Amino acid sequence: EARALEAWLTGQRREAWDPVLEQTSAPGVARFRGAMTLDAGEAWPSCGSCGRPLAGLFELDRAGLPDPTLRADDCVQLFACESWSNDEPGSADCIVGSWL
């Protein structure tokens, strides 16, 4: 039974990307909180409920990923309102994701 489990676990192994976190403003990296990359002339997103500017939570420039099978010409971003609450009606308007 232990050998069967070990064989099954071996078959489940996948390579993983272990990100290194450091402060930088360099392009082509992942960002957690703070300044996000916007296109020229693009306005910073605002909350659909309260109108305040959204906080940048996460940005992933896929060109920086080690897997060459992924599209490397786009970026994934997630913004949220700092006053967001699950209890408020319309709170879904407070979270914005974008795929650039």
Residue 75 in 3-state DSSP?
strand
Copy the structure tokens of residue 40: 């020229």
In sequence order, what DSSP letters do the residues of 47-70 get, joined into one string? -TTT-PBPEEEEEEEGGGSS-TTS
The tens place of each residue's pLDDT in the chain, 100 residues long, gives 889 999 998 888 877 767 677 776 666 667 777 778 888 888 888 888 788 888 888 888 777 666 655 565 677 888 888 776 655 555 555 556 655 5
Residue 98 in 3-state DSSP?
strand
Q: How confident is the model at residue 95, as a pLDDT? A: 58
Q: Which residues pair with 56 in a beta bridge?
A: 79
